[in-house]
Chain A
Amino acid sequence: MTAIVPGTVPKSSPRGSGARARMLRSLLPALSLALVLIAIAWLNPRAISYFGFNLMLNLAIPIALATIAQMFVIAGNELDLSIGTFVGFVGCVTATWLRDAPLIGVAVLLGSIGVYALLGALIHLRNLPSIVVTLGMSFVWQGLAILILPKPGGKAPDWLLAIMSFKPPYIPFPILAALIIAAVVHFGLMRTSYGVILRGSGGNAAALRRAGWSLLRTKIVLFALTGLFGVLSGMALIGITTSADANIGNGYTLLSIAGVILGGGEFVGGRVSPIGAVIGALTLALAASPLLTFMHIPPDWQVAANGAILIIVLAARVLISRRER
């Protein structure tokens, strides 16, 4: 990490308080979500209901999926600044080709995942800065989205609409979906041996290379996974909004990065947490609009709320880390 202040040496401290601080730190994402929920419950008790959650967490599924997508690149010490426009592009494909010509639609979406894999290879082979490459790609996706759907419109395929309006008993669908996403990705990335290799490529690439693993392959896999979850996010989004717009996903780039960091992920070192990322995404989805609406704060300040939450959580993390040392 480059932001380390030179000269600070970790001080040894009693083991007990260190472990407690570490636990507190890993609970921080859940705590911030609980705080936001408590605030909402206090301001408007009726919101904490089956119907209320369905409404408030309406857009949480695509945000959570985009955050997971971003988490994969961050696990490999890269950053994807194009995920937002990519989600928009997928949305446009979903609302047009996937409905009218499903085969072409599927082929285009699979192809776009392939493009992501190629980008990973390119970034690794030429040692390019991912920020610049993905910023460039964000123009490409946006351009393609405009070409596919010059005007807002299109319609989501019926099967997708059916999935996204699924109403399971007792548990609101967004919460159920978030649980499933978190569990699946957690198992894949944290509990399988190749998941360890993927995270290791961000933690200590040199060691992995010496152990005989292909760094090219890990980068390709990480980027392909980002593409895959980006596609899922775009499709989920269209399943909710029913029609598309080329700019529909633009806000997702920053939201997804914020979600990963809120969820306890770090920029370098392959330290990410799928469960945390999903929790981070839920926190942002709840805090951005429902909380502000209940607090009678004008929508102008929605974006600021995201920034403020990010800063508060990071500040809390610093306070805890100080005790960890």
Chain B
Amino acid sequence: MASVRMLFEKPWLWSFVGALLVWAATVSFTGGYGAGGMVTAALSLAVFTVIVGVGQMFVITLGPGNVDLSLPANIGLASAVAMKVMGGSDSMILVGLLAALACGAAIGAINYLLIWALRIPPIIATLSASFIIQSVDISYGRGLQIKPPPGFADFTNWQVLGIPALAILTVLFTIGAALALQRMIYGRSVLAIGQNIRAAWLAGVHVGRIRFLTYTLCGALGGIDGALLAGYFRGANVDIGNEYLLASIAVVVIGGTSVAGGKANVPGVWGAGLFLVLLLTMLNTFGVSAGVRLVLTGLIIVGVITAAGGEKAVR
């Protein structure tokens, strides 16, 4: 009885249940064929959503109105920067990754600078920033060497006993993020700001500094995600991050994080990320057309969010 209640109190478990159901449906359709390979593929694709999802989660947890809409543009630019710095040579991989990280962090810092200096809602700040980043990317990425060095491409596709190495690293990263959220002053401050920004300020939380750090962190995660995506898909392009706007917000919400802020959940991001990727795999396996796939994806996301329901916003 107690365990049943626990299940209901932990909405993020449902995202894993959903992922499992979708996987089971696909496997039964194929008659058990490719069951393991599907998990491997889902893990390696979910990684990219999870990385930006965690960044978006920290931002959304800051409270209503906080969301980073510049992630797709950020990912696109960082992927181009990383590939340019690496220049196709294995010895530059680390430098390229650092460059992508720095590029993303700078974008995050600029986002917060706009929010702070212009006192505008984060949606508008990150939106205007993304306009500019997009143009920079289009102009910068033209005629660029966009292939990753072979070593980096191999690394992003590397598997240990059928488990993508990137997925293992990302699990470690998310454990770190969960610890930071629940056990470190930084994470507790983010939660406190999300629950009541004024109370947090009165309690001595450095509101400005924490918000700055959070946007920078989210930007940096977007940057590293761009570099990894370029490695995995063997090339950078302007549109590489496009799908991660919806995905990053959707995994946060489906994963049980409150959109009203102040309540975050790291494991749920993994569950929701796997759910979304497996959902796409399922629709592909069923052989539906691109249009039907988009419609179903949209409807399922709306449906899941309706079922999960919003809490009463504390405003």
Is B139 interfacial (CB-CB < 8 Å)? yes
Which one of B114, B121, B253, B259 contacts A267 once the chains associate, using CB atoms below 8 Å?
A: B121
Question: B202 — which chain A residues lie within 8 A by C-beta?
Answer: 6
A143 to B64, CA, bound (A): 30
Q: Is the interface of B mostly helix, strand, loop or mixed?
A: helix
Is A153 interfacial (CB-CB < 8 Å)? no
Q: What's the least CB distance linking B132 to chain A, in Å?
A: 4
Within 8 A of A (CB), among B288-307: 289-299, 301-302, 305-306
Question: B120 — which chain A residues lie within 8 A by C-beta?
Answer: 3, 314
Does B253 contact A129, Cβ atoms closer than 8 Å?
yes
Residues of chain B at interface, number, CB under 8 A: 59
Does A131 contact B118, Cβ atoms closer than 8 Å?
no
Which one of A2, A267, A304, A311 contacts B134 once the chains associate, using CB atoms below 8 Å?
A: A304
A1 to B136, CA, bound (A): 31
Question: A317 — which chain B residues lie within 8 A by C-beta?
Answer: 118
- Which of A9-17, A225-233, A294-302 makes up part of the contact surface? A294-302
- Say whether, besides A131-B67, A144-B291, A307-B131, A137 and B121 are in contact (CB < 8 Å): no
Q: What's the least CB distance linking B294 to chain A, in Å?
A: 3
Does B124 contact A303, Cβ atoms closer than 8 Å?
no
Is A257 interfacial (CB-CB < 8 Å)? yes
Binding site for B on A (CB under 8 A): 1-7, 79, 122, 126-129, 131-133, 135-147, 150, 254, 257-258, 261, 267-268, 298, 300-308, 310-311, 314-315, 317-318
Which 8 A-B residue pairs are closest in the complex by CB-CB distance?
A307-B131, A143-B294, A139-B298, A304-B135, A143-B295, A147-B291, A140-B298, A146-B291
Q: Can you list 25 A-B contacts with CB-CB less than 8 angstroms, sorted by A residue number?
A: A7-B201, A131-B67, A131-B249, A133-B302, A135-B301, A136-B246, A136-B250, A137-B302, A139-B297, A140-B294, A142-B298, A143-B290, A143-B292, A143-B294, A144-B291, A146-B289, A146-B291, A254-B130, A254-B131, A258-B127, A258-B128, A258-B131, A298-B139, A301-B135, A304-B131
Binding site for A on B (CB under 8 A): 63-67, 114-115, 117-124, 127-132, 134-136, 138-139, 142, 197-198, 201-202, 207-208, 245-246, 249-250, 253, 259, 289-299, 301-302, 305-306, 309-313
- 13 other A-B residue contacts (CB within 8 Å) besides A131-B67, A314-B120: A3-B65, A6-B207, A132-B259, A133-B305, A133-B306, A257-B127, A261-B124, A267-B123, A304-B134, A310-B131, A311-B114, A314-B124, A314-B128
